[in-house]
Structure 1
Amino acid sequence: MPETPSPTVEFISIANEFRHEYVVEKSRFITTVYPCSTEEEAQAFIGRINKEFWDARHNCTAFALGPKQEQQRSSDNGEPSGTAGKPMLEVLKKTGITNIAVVVTRYFGGIKLGAGGLIRAYSHSVAETLRLAPKELHTIRTELQTTIDYALYGAVERHLQDAQLHYEASFGEQITLTILVVPNDVERIQKELQDMSHGAATCNVLDAIEVVLPLD
């Protein structure tokens, strides 16, 4: 069996830039999250949001980079120390989502929230935005290629969908399926395909590759 590329650590990020607004005591908290892999990309994003919301009282920031969030940074941007950037970063650390930069833009509504209120508002804003944002899994999958007759396609397709396996189909005299399988599951999936086809399906193990898969 082909060897798995290494060292690669599985991690979750967001699929694209996403924005969500939260209002508390008339203050608007506009959270924008952005996928990035370097500090330069993160700072460029932060600069862009600062220009977009130039009239806001605060644009507080946090980012986490690397498969294990090796790089971390945050800024309160004028809010009382420890009430914005650090709580935002703590949410990132708790979720484990990485390769991401976050800006929470605050438009003051005239009612002071106090330190505790600010911490709760910034934390909630980031947590809710991450909950709603489309996410993706960066991981390793082995390509398993199988060739089957058309008569088996419906049953095999249902089986792959029930197992939540990603695959592509090529149609010719027979159907060739290229399936992305967790490396440790390859032998089991091969056996299941063989059992379903009563030994008629041919299976070839191809390369283990880095893939990005959408998460619900």
Structure 2
Amino acid sequence: MPETTSPTIEFISVANEFRHEYIVEKSRFITTICPCSTETEAQAFINRINKEFWDARHNCTAYALGPKQEQQRSSDNGEPSGTAGKPMLEVLKKTGITNVAVVVTRYFGGIKLGAGGLIRAYSHSVSETLQLAPKELHTTRVQLQTTIDYALYGSLERYLQDAQLHYEAAFGEQIELTILVPLNDIEHIQKELQDMSHGAATCIVLNAIEVVLPLN
């Protein structure tokens, strides 16, 4: 079994920039979320959204960076203290989603929401946007290579899809499958492939690599 150079660190981030709008009491809360890996990237994103929505009353911000959200920052941007940036950051902390920056742009609708209303509105905006945004898993996987006959491909492909294992297939005289397997599942997956192929599938364990996998 291959050894990884460091313990597996998994975290979830957003796959790409995403925007969602939420309206409460005629106030528009436009949430824009973006993957960022450094404070420089996060600040550049925030500055870009500030320029885009230059006429908004508030562009409140929060970001969390690092596999364990080691870097965190938020801003109320003129809203009453603790009613915007902090609730936004709390949503990020609760979900565990990291390497992400978020800006909630507010266009005032003429009806005051009060401190409690603002906290709920900013929290809900970020929570709903994170739910809807495409996400991805950053993790480590071991490459398991197996060579099979064409007659076995249909059943093995169904098994891999049902097990939600990512793989690539190269088609030649036989089919060479390279499967990305969690470190702790290697022996189990090897046994499954052997059983399904009645011992015909040859398995080679290759090196562990860092991968980014889409999440549904």
2:81 matched residue in structure 1: 81
Percent identity (aligned):
88
2:26 matched residue in structure 1: 26
CA contact (8 A) 1:148 1:176 kept: yes
1:103 matched residue in structure 2: 103
Cα distance between partner residues in 1 of 2:122 and 2:5: 39
1:126 matched residue in structure 2: 126
Cα distance between partner residues in 1 of 2:52 and 2:141: 40
4+ residue runs over 3 A deviation: none
Q: CA deviation at 1:7?
A: 4.0
One-letter code aligned to 1:132: L
One-letter code aligned to 2:36: C
TM-score by length of 2: 0.99
CA deviation map 1:178-208 (0-9, x unaligned): 0000011001100111111111111000011
Q: CA deviation at 1:9?
A: 1.4
TM-score by length of 1: 0.99
Cα distance between partner residues in 2 of 1:189 and 1:52: 50
CA contact (8 A) 1:5 1:209 kept: no
Q: CA deviation at 1:6?
A: 1.0
CA contact (8 A) 1:64 1:73 kept: yes
Cα distance between partner residues in 2 of 1:169 and 1:52: 44
Q: CA deviation at 1:5?
A: 3.3
Q: What value does the CA root-mean-square deviation take over the aligned residues? A: 0.6
Cα distance between partner residues in 2 of 1:5 and 1:53: 45
2:189 matched residue in structure 1: 189
Matches within 5 A, 1:168-183: 168-183=168-183
- Which ranges in structure 2 are unaligned for 5 or more consecutive residues? none
Q: CA deviation at 1:4?
A: 1.6
1:50 corresponds to 2:47: no
CA contact (8 A) 1:61 1:85 kept: yes
CA deviation map 1:92-143 (0-9, x unaligned): 0000000000000000000000000000000000000000000000001000
Cα distance between partner residues in 2 of 1:5 and 1:72: 28
